[in-house]
């Protein structure tokens, strides 16, 4: 339960802070200006790191028992955030950023006592501290820069990091420790990233900047080391190769190409995987989805091979990475270009242009059903569950007050408070219904009907302001990741089941919210009622 509330709190803080920072960004000089190497064409606020770091660290400090190692992590994170924020405001240069990175890593190595003592194919006694400490610095600073340099497309670094964090949290959770620092930190940072991705999906309203990307790289390196060197030493020390996945081999390939070309290793180039995909004709979204797919494969492989031999893990990693770069090199040398989708699908086959009147009426009916059923479902669960815990009641009361204030005094339009409240309420109600009201046959019918209604609505209804984004594919990959281990239970429920149900309800809520102000108000009132009922039931 503690991990869940840390995640939700981090996500809420991130979603609340970021719109405020976007407004402040022009006044504090934290705007990312376009240039020939960058994809965006207009200035974008570079303040996403504020939401990610603040959202991640605040709940950790509030709810997690602190140790020297955790204090070292927090101090290192703050140091990196400070250097990164300065760089986001005015370019500091690579060497100044290295100073911040070495300070942050030095804190966790010397104050937190963390170091890499086990590496593949080498016995621990053959890896003394005189070698382990410099190697730890090299590995952690390398990972910080790997994520920093992967932040080249909207949603890319955040989505890659989210998949890695989820894999790390799953493996750490299997250790069975009552209070697992890896799980707590991973959940906190996942919450911060989810809140950020709400504004970073293409076209992005905000970039994470160095303050966010360096923090994520530092966190991933820290968690991977703690997981394999402290929490569970039975795990293969080669496992971080798969858990950290594509960013590692991407930065190594970029450095190799720069060195081969006689360039400065720190000069900005278009050698990253995402640049090479764009140059081959992939769209922004297609490039991000391709990288998400590869990262998800690596994380799934890590979950499947957690106790396998080092050579098996590294061989799989090497084969996949080799195949990726072989295909990219072949495409570049042969001049291959990806054809746009409209060229592959003739307009005569475009079903959307051939929808008849009766088909659109079916779509409209399905949308109407969703507008009625989903608000009723949220209220029903809040009334039907047998009891409400203290934690759920407190958070529900806070969100009810925030949502009521926004509906009464906020500006017209779809505010982040309304969006966040709907998102959290949907997850809360799915979790509570799964925990307390599980009735397999009835639930299967309800959620299958909702999923079918959503699919029919998307296919047949006219005038929908609903487009598939890279975030939708990221959600799909997360469901596949969770579903890969169907027997994993967390907080008394099956994670795969809750993930699938949550996505169905969230897509239904998104359809309702995007279409009509009147029905959006009905959904907001239903969410307000559901939160209020949960809070009152505990209080009374």
**HSE toward the beta carbon, residue 160, CA cutoff 13 A:** 31
For residue 288, tell me if it sits in a domain.
no
Is 139 domain-assigned? yes
**Which among 425, 448, 418, 397 has a CA at the least distance from the CA of 506?**
425
Do 355 and 228 share a structural domain?
no
Which residues have a Cβ under 8 Å from the Cβ of 231 and sit 6 or more positions away?
172, 175, 177, 180, 182
Kindly state the average pLDDT of the residues 118-143: 88
Residues 354 and 232 in one domain: no
| Closest to 400 (Cα-Cα) out of 370, 368, 372, 378 | 378
Say which residue, 347 or 7, is predicted with more confidence. 7
Give 105's Cβ-side CA count (13 Å radius).
27
Output the pLDDT for position 352.
45
Mean pLDDT of 411-427: 75
Angle of helix 440-460 versus helix 495-515 axis, rounded to 10: 40
Lowest-pLDDT range of 9-18, 23-32, 518-527: 518-527
Residue 31: band (very low, low, confident or very high) from pLDDT cuts 50, 70, 90: confident
Mean pLDDT for the stretch of residues 516-531: 80
Between 165 and 443, where is the model more confident?
A: 165
Q: Which of 189, 205, 237 is the last residue of a domain?
A: 237
Lowest mean pLDDT among 201-210, 307-316, 374-383: 201-210
246 domain-assigned:
no
Query: pLDDT at position 256, please?
Result: 86
The H-or-E segment that residue 490 falls in is: strand 489-490
At 346, the pLDDT band (50, 70, 90 cuts) reads very low
pLDDT at position 140: 95
- For residue 344, the model assigns a pLDDT of 44
In 34-180, which ranges are continuous DSSP H helix? 48-63, 68-89, 94-106, 129-150, 156-173
For the segment 167-196, the average pLDDT, to the nearest whole number, is 84
pLDDT reading at 350 higher than 50: no
pLDDT reported for residue 78? 96
Residue 380 counted as domain residue: yes
- Which range of 163-172, 450-459, 480-489, 499-508 scores highest in mean pLDDT? It is 163-172
- C-alpha–C-alpha distance, residues 299 and 245, integer Å: 7
Q: How confident is the model at residue 110 (pLDDT cuts 50, 70, 90)?
A: very high
Instruction: Provide the pairing of β-strand 489-490 with 493-494.
Output: antiparallel
Average pLDDT over residues 23-49: 77
Candidate ranges 290-304, 313-327, 454-468; pick with highest mean pLDDT = 313-327
The region that residue 72 occupies, defined by phi over 0 for left and psi between -120 and 50 for alpha, beta otherwise, is alpha
pLDDT, position 426: 87
The last residue of one of the domains, among 237, 254, 282, is: 237
On average, the pLDDT of the chain sits at 83
Domain shared by 31 and 165, yes or no: yes
Identify the pLDDT of residue 179.
58
Higher pLDDT, 441 or 299: 299
Pairing of strands 493-494, 44-45: unpaired
Q: Do residues 523 and 375 touch, judged by C-beta distance below 8 A? A: yes
Q: What is the domain range of residue 434?
A: 347-539
Q: Is residue 118 part of a domain?
A: yes
Which two three-digit tokens encode residue 436? 């307390």
Last residue of a domain, one of 213, 237, 261: 237
Structure tokens at 21: 């920072």
Tell whether 25 is covered by a domain: yes
115 pLDDT band, cuts 50/70/90, is very high
Question: Which has more confidence, 512 or 50?
Answer: 50
Tokens 């203290």 belong to residue: 390
Domain count, the chain: 2
The confidence score (pLDDT) of residue 152 equals: 80
DSSP single-letter state for residue 272:
S
CA distances from 40 to 146, 278, 288, 431 (A): 21, 13, 15, 39
Would you say the pTM of this structure is higher than 0.75? yes
Q: 157-177: per-residue pLDDT in tens?
A: 999 999 999 999 888 887 765
**Domain for residue 252, yes or no?**
no
| 29: its two tokens | 């000089």
pLDDT tens per residue, range 252-295: 988 888 888 777 777 667 788 988 898 888 888 888 889 988 99
Is residue 340 included in any domain, yes or no? no
Q: Are strands 31-32 and 489-490 parallel, antiparallel or unpaired?
A: unpaired
What φ, ψ does residue 465 adopt, rounded to 5°? -95, 60
Evaluate the omega torsion of the peptide bond into residue 203 and state whether it is cis, within 30 degrees of 0: yes
Dig out the tokens for 278 from the structure.
């764009």
- Above pLDDT 90, what percent of the chain? 30
Among the listed residues 128, 319, 180, the one whose alpha carbon sits nearest the alpha carbon of residue 241: 319
Q: Among 44, 271, 240, 246, which Cα is nearest to 156's?
A: 246
Which structure tokens are listed for 263?
């360039």
Q: What is the pLDDT of residues 74-107, one digit of tens each?
A: 999 999 999 999 988 887 778 899 999 999 999 9
Q: Do residues 223 and 185 touch, judged by C-beta distance below 8 A?
A: yes
Residue 255 has a pLDDT of 87
Poorest-pLDDT segment among 41-50, 73-82, 336-345, 506-515: 336-345
Per-residue pLDDT, 431: 85
Cβ atoms within 10 Å, residue 3: 23
| Confidence category of residue 439, pLDDT binned at 50, 70, 90 | low
Q: State pLDDT tens for residues 227-260.
A: 999 888 888 899 999 999 899 999 998 888 888 8
The beta-strand segments (E) located in 284-441 are none
Between 11-15, 418-422, 487-491, the lowest mean confidence (pLDDT) is in 487-491
Q: Find the length of the chain.
A: 540
| Tokens at 179, concatenated | 């209070």
């Amino acid at each position: 339960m503690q991990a869940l509330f840390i995640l939700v709190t981090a996500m809420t803080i991130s979603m609340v802070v970021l719109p405020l920072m976007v407004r402040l960004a022009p006044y504090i000089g934290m705007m990312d200006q376009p240039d020939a190497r960058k994809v965006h064409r207009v200035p974008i606020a570079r303040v996403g790191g504020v939401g990610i770091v603040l959202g991640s660290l605040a709940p950790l400090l509030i709810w997690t028992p602190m140790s020297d190692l955790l204090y070292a992590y927090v101090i290192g994170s703050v140091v990196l955030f400070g250097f990164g924020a300065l760089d986001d405001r005015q370019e500091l240069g690579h060497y100044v950023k290295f100073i911040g990175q070495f300070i942050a890593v030095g804190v966790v190595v010397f104050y937190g006592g963390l170091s890499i003592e086990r590496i593949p194919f080498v016995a621990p006694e053959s890896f003394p501290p005189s070698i382990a400490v410099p190697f730890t610095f090299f590995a952690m600073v390398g990972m910080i820069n790997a994520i920093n340099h992967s932040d080249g497309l909207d949603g890319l670094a955040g989505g890659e990091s989210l998949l890695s964090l989820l894999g790390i949290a799953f493996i750490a959770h299997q250790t069975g420790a009552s209070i697992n620092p890896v799980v707590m930190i991973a959940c906190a940072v996942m919450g911060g990233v989810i809140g950020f991705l709400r504004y970073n999906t293409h076209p992005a309203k905000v970039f994470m900047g160095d303050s966010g990307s360096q923090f994520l790289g530092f966190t991933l390196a820290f968690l991977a080391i703690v997981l394999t060197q402290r929490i569970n030493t039975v795990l293969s020390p080669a496992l971080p190769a798969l858990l950290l996945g594509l960013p590692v081999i991407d930065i190594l390939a970029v450095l190799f190409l720069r060195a081969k070309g006689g360039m400065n290793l720190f000069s900005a180039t278009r050698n990253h995987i995402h640049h090479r995909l764009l140059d081959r004709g992939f769209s922004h979204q297609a490039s991000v989805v391709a990288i998400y797919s590869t990262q998800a494969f690596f994380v799934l492989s890590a979950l499947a091979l957690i106790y396998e031999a080092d050579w098996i893990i590294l061989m799989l990693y090497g084969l996949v990475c080799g195949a990726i770069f072989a295909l990219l090199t072949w495409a570049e040398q042969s001049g291959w270009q990806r054809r746009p989708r409209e060229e592959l699908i003739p307009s005569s086959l475009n079903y959307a242009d051939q929808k008849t009147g009766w088909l659109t009426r079916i779509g409209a009916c399905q949308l109407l059903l969703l507008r009625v059923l989903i608000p009723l479902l949220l209220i029903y669960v809040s009334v039907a569950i047998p009891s409400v815990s203290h934690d759920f009641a407190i958070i529900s009361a806070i969100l009810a007050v925030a949502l009521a204030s926004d509906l009464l005094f906020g500006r017209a339009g779809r505010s982040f408070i309304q969006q966040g409240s709907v998102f959290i309420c949907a997850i809360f109600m799915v979790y509570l219904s799964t925990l307390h009201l599980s009735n397999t046959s009835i639930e299967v019918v309800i959620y299958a009907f909702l999923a079918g209604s959503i699919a029919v609505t998307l296919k047949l209804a006219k005038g929908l302001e609903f487009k598939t984004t890279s975030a939708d594919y990221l959600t799909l990959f997360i469901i596949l990741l969770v579903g890969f281990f169907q027997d994993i239970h967390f907080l008394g429920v099956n994670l795969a089941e809750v993930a699938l149900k949550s996505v169905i309800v969230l897509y239904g809520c998104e359809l309702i919210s995007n279409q009509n102000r009147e029905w959006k108000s009905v959904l907001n009132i239903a969410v307000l009622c559901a939160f209020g009922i949960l809070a009152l039931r505990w209080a009374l």
